[in-house]
Amino acid sequence: MVYLFFLSSLITSFLFVSPKHFHAPFQKGVSLFFLGLFVYSVWKNKKESPNSKSFSKFFSLQTHNDLLPYFVWVSGLCFLLASSYHAYHLTQFFVNSFLFHDADYIGISDVLLSFAKGYGFQSHYYSDTVNGSYLNHHFAPGMAFLSPFVKWIPNRYGLAVGVFLCYQLTTILWLTWAYFVSQKNKSSIDLKFLVIWVVLTNQLYLYRIGSSYHFEILVVFFGCFFFYQWERCKTILVDGKTKFTKQLLLLGLSLILFLIQKEDIGIYLCLFFLPVIITSLYQVYRAYRENRFLTSTSQRKVFSLFGILLITVLYLGFVFFLFPILNGSHSILSWSQVLRQEYHASFKQVTSVSKSIQIYLELLTSGGLGMIQLIPELLGISLIYLMHVLSTRPWHHEVYSYYSYSLLPFLLYSGILWLKSEKQISLPLVYLILACLFWKNSMDQNFPLVTQSKEHWYDSKVQAEVKEDLPYANGILQTEAEKESTHSANKRKEQIVFSQYNLSFFINDKVTLYPLEKLQNGKEICDQTKLCYVVLAPEFTDTILWPKQRILDTFAEAKTRNHQKIWQGKQIEVWKLKK
């Protein structure tokens, strides 16, 4: 029967390499199959005598236990290969469809490249000033771990490679941890591990973060390290080993690495641990009332937990109060205002309590439902989700795209705790959980995302002409750079290019990019030592996101310098800002 779960762990890997129209029906078929197994196993268990239990005996066969590590290894390898194939085609689809808009992908790449060059977290896209710090937008210094990919991989593909690689490694890390937990001191296959195995290799929310090309994947990646060190710390306390001080240092380091991935992680960590803290305080209170002394193990555990919270609170104090003051701003970071920002009703998908409850149940299902048996962890996750419910930001409210980063590390960690616990689960319930999992996944039309489509986001004729113009436009920029280099004693000057939102990805990656709207600061940006150009295609735009008139007005209003058109293609224009 373990073969069944092995094949189930390959479902998403199969979806990565299969046609899109096959995805939903196939997952629904798998769901109905598990539902049928659930009904059959319940009926079979009722008919069998209490001493028979053929299903349990079948799972405890040593031959199956011997095969399990090979199945898990092959499952992980298939996931890596299939997700790499999918990542390549998805990235190419986004590129060829001009969907890498500068609002996120180019902006984040710009910050990471700036860091790699030694300029810190300088951002041209996410600051009110000319070259402000991205940390004012999101205090996420941990995103620097992705900067080598942006530096080493040309043509702006570095962020895509780095994010998807982290997505793959994160899945493998959590799966490896779960496997070793399940095998510790156990002679037979753990049913709970089979659930976690299938859940991790078919994790919709983890895929959402990876396919969003956002740095928040690092939250789940480093969350794995932090919670692993926390569990090791607790193990050392119970076993009475002498490595507690060393482990405490490792725990502190992993905590800092976890917190620096984004400014609000500390808030979610406090909410998650709040029920655990209350439980610990209650135990201390009971010991005091009964005149009992806490054991050294309990004392150290409480000490470690409060140490984590103290560091987290101090870090939050620095991020939200001290950093803005040191950075010349006397207000807290903008993200808190963003969460309260009102949006047009057309953006809001979650408009009822029943819908919020549905999303909450879907989140629990994606984690295998095991945390339902762990009351403190379930309450912690519920508190975090409550922040999503109270948020007025539509995507945050419906936990869509990369917005699941605030919940996913805690969901996966709760699964590990469930695996380590003495809680038991029956085979019929395993079938029911997996039936719910695959049915839920089948309902999301973007799991996995389409990698080819006949839909056109722009006029097909205009898009074809833009593709034809791009090599010539980049050639003009290269020629201009070489020409100026010859006139300045072979010292290459920095090239500044202002470009519209959907062309930025395709501009020569040797230049420094600015969004078109920064032209209003053109005089300040283009000083005497820099060469400035504008690359735009007024007809190639979205009528809602960036109407043609908005592009023309933005360009026309920036009259800080003379504009000289140096090349005109079928759609793309290249202008030089003269000194």
Question: Quick one: which H or E segment has residue 62?
Answer: helix 62-96
C-alpha 221/C-alpha 225 separation (Å) is 7
Q: Which two tokens stand for residue 492?
A: 């290459």
| Same domain for 321 and 470 | no
> What are the φ/ψ torsions at residue 435 (nearest 5 degrees)?
-60, -45
Question: Does residue 559 sit within a domain?
Answer: yes
Of 413, 443, 473, the one marking the end of a domain is 443
Angle between helices 353-366 and 427-443 (to 10 degrees): 120
Of 390, 414, 443, the one marking the end of a domain is 443
pLDDT at residue 334 tops 70: no
131-144 burial code (b ≥16 CB/10 A, e <16)? bbbbbbbbbbbbbb
427 alpha carbon, distance to own chain's centre: 32
Total domain count for the chain?
A: 2
Distances (CA, A) of 565 to 187, 268, 308, 514: 75, 52, 59, 18
| Three-state DSSP state, 498 | strand
| Three-state DSSP state, 241 | coil
| Same domain for 470 and 397 | no
pLDDT at residue 468 tops 50: yes
| Same domain for 362 and 396 | yes
pLDDT at residue 203 tops 90: yes
Assign 229 a pLDDT band (cuts: 50, 70, 90).
very high
pLDDT at residue 414 tops 90: yes
Assign 524 a pLDDT band (cuts: 50, 70, 90).
confident
Name the β-bridge partners of 576: 533, 564
Question: Does residue 287 sit within a domain?
Answer: yes
* Of 20, 8, 19, 13, nearest in space to 445 by CA: 20
Strands 563-568 and 573-577: antiparallel
pLDDT at residue 526 tops 80: yes
| Same domain for 439 and 347 | yes
557-573 burial code (b ≥16 CB/10 A, e <16)? ebeeeebeeebebebbb
Strands 494-499 and 530-536: parallel
| Same domain for 469 and 438 | no
> What are the φ/ψ torsions at residue 451 (nearest 5 degrees)?
-110, 0
> What are the φ/ψ torsions at residue 568 (nearest 5 degrees)?
-130, 115
| Same domain for 401 and 289 | yes
Asked whether the bond before 448 is cis by omega within 30 degrees of 0, the reply is yes
pTM over 0.85: yes
| Same domain for 344 and 217 | yes
Strands 512-515 and 494-499: parallel
| Same domain for 506 and 362 | no
- Domain of residue 509, residue span: 461-577
- The identity of residue 67, as a single letter, is L
pLDDT greater at residue 89 or residue 525? 89
| Same domain for 357 and 261 | yes
Question: Does residue 290 sit within a domain?
Answer: yes
Question: Does residue 251 sit within a domain?
Answer: yes
| Same domain for 220 and 305 | yes
Question: Does residue 121 sit within a domain?
Answer: no
C-alpha 531/C-alpha 246 separation (Å) is 54
* Of 284, 294, 281, nearest in space to 376 by CA: 281
pLDDT greater at residue 394 or residue 347? 394
Question: Does residue 350 sit within a domain?
Answer: yes
C-alpha 13/C-alpha 23 separation (Å) is 11
Assign 137 a pLDDT band (cuts: 50, 70, 90).
confident
| Same domain for 393 and 521 | no
Q: Phi-psi category of 401—alpha, beta or left, where left has phi over 0 and alpha has psi -120 to 50? A: left
Question: Does residue 108 sit within a domain?
Answer: no
Of 416, 443, 470, the one marking the end of a domain is 443
What percentage of the chain reaches a pLDDT higher than 90? 50
What integer is the mean pLDDT of 100-112? Answer: 87
Q: Which two tokens stand for residue 210?
A: 């990876």
**What's the length of the chain?**
579
| Same domain for 386 and 434 | yes
What integer is the mean pLDDT of 299-310? Answer: 83
Q: Which two tokens stand for residue 20?
A: 């899109």
Question: Does residue 136 sit within a domain?
Answer: no
